[in-house]
Structures are given as structure tokens and as C-alpha cells.
Amino acid sequence: MTEQRTTDPNTGLDKFFAALRGIGVRRRTDDKWVAGVCAGIADRLSVHPVIVRAAMVLLILLGGICVTVYLVAWALLPNE
């Protein structure tokens, strides 16, 4: 006898990307300098994008891992 498995369509990467979309950050394509990540974060936090961009540059200059975080966000965050 063969066992039938009930497959959940929301498994693995689907759950991951659904959770990522659930945080409410979208990359902005209309107000972007590089990829729109800072503008999307600014929209979510309800602040001006220049503030987020300045904070990102400051953290990069202080030796943070912001470049890596920015690249990962660029790759994973959905567009508007």
C-alpha cells in the first residue's frame, strides 16, 4: 500500500517569504538611491529616508555589518 501524504503548500521557503512580507517593509522603486532598502525602512518607521540613509552610512563608517545586511535586504525584500 502506498501512503498518501497531505502536503502543506506553505512549507519551507514559502513560510519564510510570507513572514518576511509580513513585517511590512517593501523596497521603494520610485525614491531610491541604490536599491530602495533605506526608503522602504523609512516608510515602515514613518521617518524621512535621508535619516535612515545617514544612519546607514554612519554605521558603515563605524565598522558595522550594514553592507552585508543591506545586500541581504536587497536580495530578499519584495518591491512595492
Residue with cell 535612515: 52
Question: In this predicted model, what pLDDT tens digit does every residue of 44-70 receive, in sequence order?
Answer: 888 998 898 898 888 888 887 878 877
Q: Tell whether the model's pLDDT for residue 17 goes beyond 60.
A: yes
Q: What is the pTM of this model?
A: 0.61
Rounded-to-integer distance, Cα 8 and Cα 19, Å = 16
Higher-scoring residue by pLDDT: 39, 6: 39
Q: Tell whether the model's pLDDT for residue 1 goes beyond 60.
A: no
Which residue from 39, 5, 44 is spatially nearest to 25, judged by alpha carbons?
Answer: 44
Which residue from 14, 44, 15 is spatially nearest to 27, judged by alpha carbons?
Answer: 44
Tell me the sheet residues that pair with 10: none
Label residue 27 exposed, middle or buried (CB < 10 Å: 0-12, 13-18, 19+): buried
